[in-house]
Every structure is written in structure tokens, then in C-alpha cells.
Structure 1
Amino acid sequence: MNTAALREQIQRAHQHEAETGHLTLLLEKQLPHLHPAIQLPDSDAKGVLTRFVTAYIEQVPDMLDAANDVAIKAGIESQIKPVLKIAEQYFIQPPKVMEGHVGLDSLLDEAYLAHRLVEEVNDLYIREFKQPLIPLDTTMASLIAHQLIGEAFANQLDEAVHHSVDSLLNEDSFARESVEQYRDKLTSAETGEAWKKWPCMSRQLGVDLNL
């Protein structure tokens, strides 16, 4: 994994934001039009929303490092690594659909892709193994990010995720002789203990969603 490159990219985006205020301006314009289900404090709505976006972006390399570390410790690196590499590539070489987006605005799109990829793969693993591949629930955060990105464009990003998952995993992926052994590894105490070392995975992002 090359999450150091992702962190450098995030740092450059922060520098761009400090110089331009691009993301803050975009979020300020969106505040009056957010879905009423998104709950923000009256006192500092713009600040909370900006911090949410920043945390959502910064969580991606943490998530990838954690998943890679757990995969190695649990002996399931060959199954998890391809998923993580695609999420990493979303940052390093984003799809053409994201051309023209800059700074933290661009990284919000890329973070959304990475988080949504993990969600989709988790859904497949829950269906097959009754347990997620990566026990990180960002569903609510991604619903908020979807709204911030905009319905039409976020739907295009979802399509990119579905294409990646379809090309990565299919029924044959779970039909190999090694699946039962892998199932035991995924549900083992060692895997569970490895995840407990990553408290940042349950980070509160500061925005609520009233469904």
C-alpha cells in the first residue's frame, strides 16, 4: 500500500484550501439547500460541515492502512489487497468523470469512491460470510457526502464503484476450495483483536442524519 502518497495528496489539498478557501465557499453555498435530514448545529454549521468533509477524507488512508495491517496479521492479504489497491487508485488516478475538480473538493469525490467501495465489498462479504470484510460502518457519512457532492454526480461515482466491484468480485470468488479456510480466518479472534487496535475507525465526524 502507498498511503503515504495519499497523505501527501491530502496535505497538498489542505494547502490549496488554505490559499483559496475553495471548499469552504462551496459548502457555504450548499448550506441553505441541504436535505432537512442532515442535522447541523445552528452555531457553527459551516465549521462543522467543513470538519466533517476533512475527517471523511482523512479517514481513507487510515482505513486502508488498518485493513492492510489486519489482512497481513490474519493471513488474508491475498483476498483483501485487491480491494484496497482499487480504493488507493481512486486517489492516485481518479476516474475521468472527476476531471476539473480541485483541492479538497476533488478529494471528497475520491474519498466517497473509496468509502463506497468498502461498503459495497462489505455487503458482498456479509451476504457470503455473515460478517463484513472491514468492520467500519460509514453508511451514514457516505449518505451525507452523497448529498454534498450532488445527486447526479454522486450517482455517476456510484456507477464507477459498481463497475469496480463487478470486475473484482463475482460468484466464482466465493466458490474456491479455500473459502471455508478463509471464512475461519475472517471470523477468528485474531482478526477481531487486530481491528480493536484501530479506534480511529469509530471516529465521530460531527454531523448527524435524521432518517
Structure 2
Amino acid sequence: MKTAALREQIQRAHQHEQATGQLLTHLEGQLAGLHPSIRFSENDPKAALARFVSAYIEQVPDLLDAAAQVAAEAGIEGQVKPVLKIAEEYFFTPPRIMDGHQGLDCLLDEAYLAHRLVEEVNDLYIRHFSQPLIPLDTTVANLIAHQLIGESFANQLDEVVHHSVDSLLDEDSFQLESVQAYKDKLTAPETGAAWKRWPCLSRQLGIGLGVA
């Protein structure tokens, strides 16, 4: 995994933000249109959103490193690595629809692609194995990121994710004998124990959903 280079890219995006304030300007424009169910744990929503975006982006290399190590230890690299590689390539070779995007704004889009990819793949594994491939639940965070990105463009990014998942997995993929045998590894206690060593994957981002 090229997570060191990814962290450098994130650092450069932070420097761009310090110089331009581009993300804060964007977030300020989004505040009035946020869904009323979005709740903040502090009194400065714009600052809370900025911290949320930073944590959401910075969680991606943490996730890639953790998942790669767990996959190696648990013997499930064949299933996990292709997902991680696509998530990583969203940053280094972004889809063409993201041309012209810069700084943390751009990385928010790319992080959304990565997190949504994991969410979609997890949904498929839960449907077939009653167990996620990567036990990280970012559903609420993804819904908030979707709002911040904007409905129209976020929907286009969702289409990119669906295309990626279709290229990785189809219904026949889960009928292979080798994949059925893999189910035992996915649910093995040692795999669960390996995941529990990575508490950063359940980091609290300070924003949630409540009753509108």
C-alpha cells in the first residue's frame, strides 16, 4: 500500500487549505442547506465540519494500513487487497469527473469514494456471509459527507463506486468453492481479535444524526 505517499498528499492539501481557506468557504456555504437531522457536539458548526472533513480524510490511510495488516495475518489478502487498491487509486488516479478539484475539497471527494467503496463491499459480504469484509461502519459519516459534497456530484461519485464494485464482484463470485471456504476465515476469532487492535477505525468524528 502507498499510504506514506497518501499521507503526504493529505499534508499538502492541509497546506493548500491554510493558504486559501477554500474548504472553510465551501463549508460556510453548505451550513444553511444541511439536513436538520445533522447534529453537532459543539457550538461552532463550521469548525466542527472542518474537523469532521479532516478526520474523514485522514481515516483513509489508517483504514488501508489496518486492513492490509489484518488481511495478511488472517490469510484473506486475496479478498481484501483488491478493494484496498481501488480505494487507494481513487487518490492517485482520480476519476475524470474530479478534474479541476483541489486541496481538501478534492480529498473529501476521494475519501468519500474510498469509504463508500468499503461500505458497498461490506453490504455485499453481509448479504452473502452475514459478516462484513472490513468491520468499519461509516454509514452515518458517509451520509454527512454526501451532504457536504452536494447531492448532484455525490450521486455521480456513487455511480463511480457502483462501477468499481461491479468490476470487483458479482453474484457468481460468491458461489465459488474457494470463496465459500474463505467464509470460515472471515468469521474466525483470530480475525476479529486482529481488528480490535485498531481502535482508530471507530474514531468519533463529533457529528451525528438525530431526529429532525
Same fold by TM-score greater than 0.5: yes
1:77-97 CA distance string (max 9 Å, x none): 011110100000001111001
Residue of structure 1 equivalent to 2:178: 178
2: CA distance, partners of 1:186 / 1:8: 32
List alignment gaps of at least 5 residues for structure 2.
none
2: CA distance, partners of 1:99 / 1:126: 34
Structure 1 residue matching 2:137: 3-state secondary structure: coil
Structure 2 residue matching 1:13: 3-state secondary structure: helix
Task: List aligned pairs for 1:65-84, cutoff 5 A.
Answer: 65-84=65-84
Structure 1 residue matching 2:177: 3-state secondary structure: coil
Task: Calculate the TM-score normalised by the size of structure 2.
Answer: 0.97
> Which residue type is aligned with residue 70 of structure 1?
V
1: CA distance, partners of 2:34 / 2:176: 46
Distance change in 2, residues 1:62/1:171 (3 Å)? same
- The answer to whether 1:153 aligns with 2:116 is no
2: CA distance, partners of 1:162 / 1:107: 19
Structure 2 residue matching 1:178: 3-state secondary structure: helix
- The answer to whether 1:194 aligns with 2:194 is yes
Count matched residues.
Answer: 211
Residue of structure 1 equivalent to 2:127: 127
Residue of structure 2 equivalent to 1:98: 98
Residue of structure 1 equivalent to 2:56: 56
Residue of structure 2 equivalent to 1:35: 35
Task: Calculate the TM-score normalised by the size of structure 1.
Answer: 0.97
Structure 1 residue matching 2:43: 3-state secondary structure: coil
1: CA distance, partners of 2:115 / 2:192: 21
Residue of structure 1 equivalent to 2:164: 164
- The answer to whether 1:86 aligns with 2:86 is yes
Distance change in 2, residues 1:180/1:28 (3 Å)? same
1:154-180 CA distance string (max 9 Å, x none): 000000000000011012211222123
- The answer to whether 1:138 aligns with 2:138 is yes
Shift of 1:37: 1.2
> Which residue type is aligned with residue 82 of structure 1?
P
Identity of aligned residues (%): 73
Task: List aligned pairs for 1:6-17, cutoff 5 A.
Answer: 6-17=6-17
1: CA distance, partners of 2:36 / 2:43: 17
| RMSD over aligned Cα atoms | 1.0
List alignment gaps of at least 5 residues for structure 1.
none
2: CA distance, partners of 1:121 / 1:68: 16
Shift of 1:39: 1.3
Distance change in 2, residues 1:35/1:73 (3 Å)? same
> Which residue type is aligned with residue 206 of structure 2?
G
Deviating 4+ runs (over 2 angstroms): 40-43
1:112-133 CA distance string (max 9 Å, x none): 0000000000000001111000
Structure 2 residue matching 1:51: 3-state secondary structure: helix
> Which residue type is aligned with residue 2 of structure 2?
N
Shift of 1:62: 0.4
Structure 2 residue matching 1:132: 3-state secondary structure: coil
2: CA distance, partners of 1:52 / 1:33: 17
